[in-house]
């Protein structure tokens, strides 16, 4: 192997390694002290039935990291149960909904929200279906309009007369038979008609 060939292979390998995204697996942070992440509590501390009801509401806005198709409020996974208990604890300390969502987003990433906020690339998630629907509607309208124009420009063939028979001899024979049965005259012509 020549030096140029070896150098070229080494340069290629370096380029591949540098261009590959580095994926370092990270465990979600435990979150730490909530006041360090989202500041001091901004709402009043809840207790009793109000705390339980609000816990269900806020936990319903968080995605279970294990199940991913269920909210923390609906998931039976141990992690979801722990997250729900943490939500209840934060509400009891006086943190509001947005602070709690921001706290979990800090720990697990934006994916933890069932309804991601309208910012950054999320605009595509929210507006993509609307744009696709509008584009599809425009394509359908354009296709229908162009077909109407083509149909309007195309001359219509004259309608056949009453006594006209099809070009196919077999079909013409059946049409004559039906006319004989319908009109009662020979050769399928009504009685008293000329020709």
| Confidence check: pLDDT of 167 > 70 | yes
* pTM of this structure: 0.49
Distance between CA atoms of residues 62 and 110, nearest Å: 10
**What are the tens digits of pLDDT across the range 58-77?**
899 898 888 878 888 888 89
Q: Alpha-carbon torsion 73, 77, 81, 84, what sign? A: negative
Mean pLDDT of 103-131: 79
Distance between CA atoms of residues 124 and 130, nearest Å: 10
CATH architecture of the domain with range 43-112: Orthogonal Bundle (1.10)
Q: Give, to the nearest 10 degrees, the angle between helix 97-108 and helix 78-93.
A: 140
Using alpha carbons only, what angle is made at residue 186 by residues 182 and 192, rounded to the nearest 5 degrees?
85
CATH 1.10.8.640, the chain: domain bounds: 43-112
Of the listed ranges 53-67, 93-107, 145-159, the least confidently predicted one is 145-159
Average pLDDT across the chain, whole number:
78
Distance between CA atoms of residues 75 and 85, nearest Å: 13
Please list the residues that pair with 71 across neighbouring strands. 63
């Amino acid at each position: 192997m020549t030096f140029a060939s070896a150098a070229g292979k080494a340069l290629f390998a370096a380029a591949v390694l540098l261009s590959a995204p580095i994926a370092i697996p990270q465990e979600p942070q435990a979150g730490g002290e909530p006041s360090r992440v989202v500041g001091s509590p901004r709402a009043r501390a809840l207790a009793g039935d109000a705390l339980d009801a609000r816990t269900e509401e806020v936990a319903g806005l968080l995605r279970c990291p294990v199940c991913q198709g269920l909210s923390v409020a609906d998931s039976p996974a141990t992690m979801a149960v722990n997250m729900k208990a943490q939500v209840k604890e934060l509400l009891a300390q006086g943190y509001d909904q947005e602070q709690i969502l921001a706290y979990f987003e800090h720990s697990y990433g934006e994916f933890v929200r069932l309804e991601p906020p309208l910012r950054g690339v999320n605009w595509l998630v929210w507006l993509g279906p609307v744009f696709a629907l509008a584009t599809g509607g425009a394509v359908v309208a354009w296709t229908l309009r162009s077909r109407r124009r083509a149909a309007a420009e195309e001359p219509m063939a004259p309608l056949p007369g009453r006594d006209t028979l099809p070009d196919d001899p077999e079909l013409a024979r059946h049409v004559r038979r039906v006319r004989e049965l319908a009109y009662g005259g020979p050769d399928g012509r009504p009685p008293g008609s000329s020709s």
